[in-house]
Amino acid sequence: MPDSAARSRRGPVRAAVAALTAALVVAGTAACDDKEAGGAGGSAAKPTPKPTPTSAWNTRPASLASLGDSITRGFNACSPLSDCPEASWATGTAVDSLARRLLPSPAGKSWNYAKSGARMADLPGQLAQALPREPELVTVEMGANDACRADVAAMTSVDQYRADFTAALKNLRRSLPKTQVYVASVPDLKRLWAEGRADPLGKQVWKLARICPSMLGDADAVDAASTARRGQVEQRVAAYNAVLKEVCGKDPLCRYDGAVNDFRFTGAELSQWDWFHPSKEGQRELAAMAYRKITEREPAA
């Protein structure tokens, strides 16, 4: 009988212990669930912070090669109807060029492979000349001659312009995957016409030298046909710049600069010989624009 009484007393105790244990288990499980859910029962789990990405862009490249057309060759910046590479915005020594702003020794670390009259189709060939130098920066200024043709029908198509630029950039990446690229936008040719047509001498040079006939031909004509022709050139330039921005934007080591197209050239920045190509002052402005874009930590969108 004593054993039976003890067992009868232990029964309720065991039941109470079991109930308490079950309650604690449930409470503990609920607390864990609450913590995982970030509820009042515990602090929310913090995700592992991701490292802040750092740009691979080097704002101080040690060497540069410049590709382009007559603008990069300094055409008409020093004397009439001739190249003046020493006045080039990219590599010139007679102006505060990009090379002089960036490089401690520009003479031995900068090369100008631009050619007056060049079009985008010539970019791959110029690039092939530059590749053996293994430049850390390549500048590209190309497109005015694709729009400056005998007539609007002869302008380079947008598709062909895109294909030539894309092919050149892909070739650069295959050969020099870490080389940076600065791409200047095509200047506003209509703005140059509007500024230069006020100068009688400039208009004569346009006519005699056949400078950009598609835009500058019959400079004083403002009839419907002439206005429409200039509008077509303006639209093509805008399309070229859209291509440059898009294709360059897909490459993390390429920077497109729309500031060149936006710049409002005046007589002070245009050659006194043709009122179309940049003067030495205009070349300095181009150099300043390029320097700002290349040395930006994070370029504006």
Task: Report whether pLDDT(43) > 90.
Answer: no
Going from the C-alpha of 147 to that of each of 23, 73, 76, 253, the distances in angstroms are: 83, 18, 19, 27
pLDDT digits (tens, 9 = 90+) for 200-244: 988 999 999 899 999 999 999 999 999 999 999 999 999 999 999
Grade residue 99 by pLDDT with cuts at 50, 70 and 90: very high
CA 93, 127, 114, 269 torsion: positive or negative? Answer: negative
Rg (CA), the chain: 33
Q: What is the pTM of this model?
A: 0.81
**Please, which residues have CB within 8 angstroms of residue 216's CB and are 6 or more apart in sequence?**
193, 196, 206, 276
pLDDT digits (tens, 9 = 90+) for 5-19: 433 444 443 443 333
3-state helix vs strand vs coil in the chain, percent to 5: 50, 10, 40
Rounded to 5°, the CA angle 54-140-130 comes to: 95
Grade residue 52 by pLDDT with cuts at 50, 70 and 90: very low
Residue 297 is predicted with a pLDDT of 85
DSSP SS3 for 31: helix
Q: What percent of the chain has pLDDT over 90?
A: 76
Q: Which residues pair with 184 in a beta bridge?
A: 141, 257
CA dihedral angle for residue 85, residue 90, residue 93, residue 96, rounded to 10 degrees: 130
**Please, which residues have CB within 8 angstroms of residue 301's CB and are 6 or more apart in sequence?**
none
Residue 55 is predicted with a pLDDT of 59
Task: Report whether pLDDT(31) > 60.
Answer: no
Q: 222-251 as b/e, with b when 16 or more CB fall inside 10 Å? A: eeeeeeebbebbbebbebbbebbeebbeeb
Residue 299 is predicted with a pLDDT of 65
Show the domains of the chain with their CATH numbers.
1-45 (no CATH), 64-295 (3.40.50.1110)
